[in-house]
Amino acid sequence: MIPVQGYQGQRVAVLGLGRSGLATAASLRAGGAEPLCWDDSPEARARAEAAGFVCHDLTRATAWGEVAALIVSPGIPHLYPAPNKLIARAMAEGVPVDNDIGLFFRSFATDDWDGFDQTPKVVAVTGSNGKSTTTALIHHILKSAGRPTQMAGNIGRGVLDLDPPAEGEVVVLELSSYQTDLARALTPDVAVFTNLSPDHLDRHGGIGGYFAAKRRLFAEGGPDRAVIGVDEPEGVYLANQIATAREDDRVIRVSSARKLGDFGWSVFARKGFLSEWRRGRQVASVDLRDMAGLPGAHNHQNACAAWAATRSLGLAPREIEAGLRSFAGLPHRSQTVAEAGGVRFVNDSKATNVDSAAKALQAFPRIRWIAGGLGKEGGISGLKPYLGAVVKAYLIGHSARDFALELGDVPQEICETMDRAVARAAAEAEPGDTVLLAPAAASFDQYPNFEKRGEHFTALVVAQLGSAV
By annotation, the residues acting in catalysis are 131, 154, 200
362-to-176, 302, 404, 438 alpha-carbon distances in Å: 25, 15, 20, 11
The answer to whether 127 is annotated as binding is yes
The answer to whether 349 is annotated as binding is no
What is the distance, to the nearest Å, from the Cα of residue 218 to the centroid of all Cα atoms in its chain?
17
Q: Which residues contact 3 (CB under 8 A, 6 or more apart)?
A: 27, 30, 31, 32, 107
The answer to whether 130 is annotated as binding is yes
The answer to whether 129 is annotated as binding is yes
- Cα angle at 269 between 128 and 315, to 5 degrees? 85
Alpha-carbon distance 360 to 465, whole Å? 23
What would the DSSP string read from start to end of 348-386?
A: -TT--SHHHHHHHHTS-SSEEEEEESBPPTTTTGGGGGG
The answer to whether 384 is annotated as binding is no
The answer to whether 381 is annotated as binding is no
Shortest CA distance to 299 belongs to which of 176, 454, 130? 130
Q: Which residues contact 167 (CB under 8 A, 6 or more apart)?
A: 116, 117, 118, 119, 120, 148
Backbone phi and psi for residue 385, each to the nearest 5 degrees, phi listed first:
-70, -10
Q: How far apart are the first and last CA of the chain?
A: 41
The answer to whether 376 is annotated as binding is no
Binding site for ATP, by residue number, is 127-133
Binding site, by residue number, is 127-133
